Structure 1
């Protein structure tokens, strides 16, 4: 299990403050979502956590150890699947392992089967649907050696039905393995359906404005989306976000 602690972290680019004194915690096996207005710096936050940029101030710790400016400490999935077209499904899935010198084909094949992609391991990305490509990208992140996942709007390009199917699939995998996850989304329904906690960021420079602890028990099914309690929580979060639009 892995924990992430961000303490009083700030980041600027070209003299403009993007992230301002952020403090965010993700506990062992916890699924935490980040909501905020467009351009508030959510993707920048992931780039700093991933070590692409060092913070101007503050500290980022993984299991108590500082990872400021250190690449390769987390598993990251961007908005698009970003599969390499010249590599097969199994070769794309094992890319993260290869980069860290750790190959476990049996584990990768097992995850491909769990994702409903058995028989496609030797197919190329051009032969896959959008949802299938997304599953391959998720598997690549899940089988990478790093145990902390940063997911940056991974369902944003999918249609509503495929999106819900992918959400349920990811939760089924996560509820078995309980990796620690930090998840960026613009979708309130998605954040409520998937998360243990939701953190709302302000407009740029991004600050933590409010935190919501999601009360719904797990496992969750799509019927929860139609309940009065779900609608009430959605309304409360929408009103909070509306202050920054």
Structure 2
């Protein structure tokens, strides 16, 4: 079980209020996306959840236990893969488990096989394509012992075709593990395709403006992206984001 509660979070930097009264819950096994303007404090919220900063007000709870300011209780995948260049693929993916002394190399090899990387466990990051490095980073996040994962725009640097392949791959792997995920993206389509729920943030300071519970069944197929319902939801969320611009 892994349920995250974000309760009344506020954070300022240099007297500038960045986050204000942020409250929501990610249920066990749920995939939720944060969507909002650039600079709205989404990454700051991740840093707070991960214990890199402390909030000025509010608290975080994982399965009912307070984790405010604590590090190592969630798994975090940043925008760049952040692989160690001197470690091969296998050594990189077991890093999180290694830190917690819970290494299972057989499981790691099985995950690499599922990720299409079975022949690359001894390769080094510079020998991989961008998409392959992203897959290595995600396998590392899955192999970390924490049941809650924060993904910060992990596909933003990829081209459109590779990005769609990675989204589909992510869904396939996630379906088999069902860890709770909080996902940052600027893409409405990406949020709709991946998520059970979308939380829309305003900016200056960030506040929760809307939450959308999505009706799309799982497992998801790429054909969903061309469906009438998908375009209708895209229009609805686009209008919400446009309204934020008008009111900012």
TM-score (norm 1): 0.99
Q: How many Å separate the matches in 1 of 2:95 and 2:177? A: 20
SS at match of 2:37: coil
What is the aligned partner in structure 1 of residue 136 from structure 2? 136
Residue 98 of structure 1: how far off its partner (Å): 1.4
1:10-159 map, 5 Å = 10-159=10-159
Q: After superposition, what is the alpha-carbon deviation per residue over 1:144-188, rounded to whole angstroms, capped at 9, x for unaligned?
A: 011100000001001111111111111111111111000000000
What is the aligned partner in structure 2 of residue 211 from structure 1? 211
SS at match of 2:176: helix
Q: After superposition, what is the alpha-carbon deviation per residue over 1:80-103, rounded to whole angstroms, capped at 9, x for unaligned?
A: 001111100000001111111221
What is the aligned partner in structure 2 of residue 237 from structure 1? 237
SS at match of 2:154: coil
Stretch deviating more after TM superposition (111-120 or 100-109):
100-109
Which contiguous aligned blocks of 4+ residues in structure 1 show a shift greater than 2 angstroms? none
Residue 242 of structure 1: how far off its partner (Å): 1.0
What is the aligned partner in structure 1 of residue 224 from structure 2? 224
Q: How many Å separate the matches in 2 of 1:162 and 1:31? A: 21
Q: How many Å separate the matches in 2 of 1:58 and 1:16? A: 17
Q: How many Å separate the matches in 2 of 1:204 and 1:89? A: 40
SS at match of 1:236: helix
Residue 229 of structure 1: how far off its partner (Å): 0.9
Q: After superposition, what is the alpha-carbon deviation per residue over 1:97-148, rounded to whole angstroms, capped at 9, x for unaligned?
A: 1111221111111100010000100000011001100000000000001110
What root-mean-square deviation, in Å, do the aligned CA atoms of Structure 1 and Structure 2 show? 0.7
Q: How many Å separate the matches in 1 of 2:96 and 2:176? A: 21
What is the aligned partner in structure 2 of residue 175 from structure 1? 175
SS at match of 2:58: strand
Unaligned runs of 5+ in 1: none
Q: How many Å separate the matches in 2 of 1:24 and 1:113? A: 36
Residue 243 of structure 1: how far off its partner (Å): 2.0
Q: How many Å separate the matches in 2 of 1:177 and 1:220? A: 15
Q: How many Å separate the matches in 2 of 1:243 and 1:65? A: 37
What is the aligned partner in structure 1 of residue 192 from structure 2? 192
Residue 244 of structure 1: how far off its partner (Å): 2.4
Unaligned runs of 5+ in 2: none
Q: How many Å separate the matches in 2 of 1:110 and 1:11? A: 41
TM-score (norm 2): 0.97
SS at match of 2:120: coil
Count of aligned positions? 245
